[in-house]
Copies of this chain bind each other. A is one copy, B any other.
Amino acid sequence: VDCEVLAIGTELLLGQVVDTNSAWIGQQLAAAGIPCYEQTKVGDNHGRIVAALRAALGRGSDIICCGGLGPTQDDITREAIAEVMGVELRRQPELVARLKERFAGREIPEINYKQADLPAGAVPILASAGTAPGLVCPVGANVIYAVPGVPSEMREMVGGSVVPDLVRRSGRQATIRSRFLRVWGMTESRVAEVVAPRVEALEAPGSNTTIAFLASAREGIRVRITARASGEDAEAAALQALDKEEAELRALLGEAVGGVDDEGLEVVVGRLLTDYGLRVAVAESLTGGMVSARLTSVPGASNWFAGGVVSYGEDVKRSLLGVGPGPVVSEHAAEEMALGVMDVLNADIGLSLTGVAGPTSQDDQPVGTVFVGLAGGEGSGTGSGVRNSKADVTQLSLRGDRQLVRERATTQALDLLRRQLIEHPRPRHS
C-alpha cells in the first residue's frame, strides 16, 4: 500500500510558510521503501480536508495528515477525520490526565481540552511530554495518521511511530536503516561513475541494500546507503550491512569521502585540526567572511580557529596582510594573503581566497576565477595547485552568479584545507 501526505494549513497555500514537512516525510517513506504517489496541501477548511481525505482513500492509499492538531478554532483535523470515519469525537480520560500533567497545576484553558478528544476507534500517538498527541485512525483497510505541523514534533512521531507502523502493516516486518556519506571535490556524474560497480552489485537478486545520490552546492554530494533486514537481529544486521557498504564505497571514493550523516565540511575540518593540535587563520576577499562564518558555526571552534581577516578592500590586503605590488586577484596575492594572515594571527595554517565574484571582471580576470592559498602545510598535493616553497595556490574556475560563486568558493576552499590536512598533517612551524 502507498501512503500520501496531506499538509493542512491556510498559511501553506498563501505561501507564508514553505511546506518542508512533506518533503521530509517523503524522504522517510522512500528510505523505508513505502511508495508515495501524491502530496497535497489544503487550508483550514472542514469540507476541503474531508474531501481530500476521501479522495486519497478512494485511491486506496494510507494518509499522513500534518497540522491542525493545536487547540485553536483553526485546528480542525480531528473533526474532519471523525467525519470521514463516520464516528464521534470522544474525550479520553488518560489524555485529560496527560493534559493536567502538562499544565502542572495551572488552570487548563477550556480550549485546550479538545486536544484530549479522539475519533472513536482511533489510537493516540504519545510523543514527548508537553505535546499534543498524534492519531492512528483505521478506516476500512487503510489508516489515516495525524501528526502536528510543528517540525520537531512531526519528526518525532513520523520517525518513531508512523513509519514503523507502516512498515509493520506492509507485512515486511523489516528494519530499515540509512546512512549518508558526504563527498566533496567531485562532480555528481563522476561520483556515479566511480561507484557504478557497487550500484550494479546491489542490483543482484537478494540484495537488501540500495544507494542513491543527492547533490547541492553547499552540502556537496551525499551518497545515501539504505539497508533493510528482518528477523530477530534485524537491527544489528541492518547496521552491519551499512558498515559493509560504507567500507566498499570508501574503498572506491577514497578521501573524497569527508563526513558521515550531518557532518558538514566545517565539522570535519575542525576535527582534523583538533586531532593534529593545529589552528587555522583565514584571509578572505571575494567570500567576505563566509569561510570564517562556516568554521565558527561549529561549537568549540575557538580551539582550532585563530581568526580571520576580511581583506575586501585592496588597502587592507596591502597594509594588514603585506600583499605587495601587482594585481590582487592573482596567484601571488593569494600566496601572500595566506602567509600574511598566518603570521598576523599567529596561526599554524593560513588559508586565503581572492577572486572575482562578479557581476564584473577584475584585474583582467573573468567572473568565477578564484585563487585559494594554503600556507603552513609542507609540500603540495592540493589538486591542480601550483607548488612553491612558501604556500600552495590552487586556481578555480567557478560557474554561477555572484552568490553561487561565493558559496562554491567557500566549499572548495574548505575542501582543499581538508585534503591538505589529510595528506600533510604536520604544521610548518612544528
Contacts and interface: CB of A to CB of B under 8 A. Distances in A.
Interface of A: 12-20, 22-28, 30, 36-43, 45, 48, 52, 55, 214, 279, 282, 284, 286-293, 295-297, 299, 301-302, 305-316, 319-320, 344-346, 358-359, 402-403, 406
Report whether over half of chain A's contact residues are helix, strand or loop; otherwise say mixed.
mixed
Contacts of A23: 12, 15, 17-19
A27 B40 contact: no
A52 B4 CA distance: 13
A359 B288 CA distance: 26
A289 B284 contact: yes
Contacts of A311: 307
Contacts of A282: 310
A77 to B, nearest CB: 16
B48 A37 contact: yes
Nearest to A321: B307
A344 to B, nearest CB: 7
A45 B2 CA distance: 15
B41 A13 contact: no
A297 B406 contact: yes
B30 A24 contact: no
Contacts of A406: 297
B296 A312 contact: yes
Given A307-B313, A310-B309, A289 B293 contact: yes
A274 B238 CA distance: 60
18 contacts: A14-B26, A15-B28, A37-B43, A39-B41, A284-B289, A287-B293, A288-B305, A296-B312, A297-B403, A299-B358, A299-B402, A308-B310, A308-B312, A309-B309, A309-B310, A313-B345, A315-B346, A319-B346
Contact of A402 (B284, B297, B358): B297
Contacts of A310: 282, 289, 292, 296, 307-310
**Which of A26, A30, A346 has the largest count of B CB atoms less than 10 A from its CB?**
A26
Nearest to A311: B307
A38 B41 contact: yes
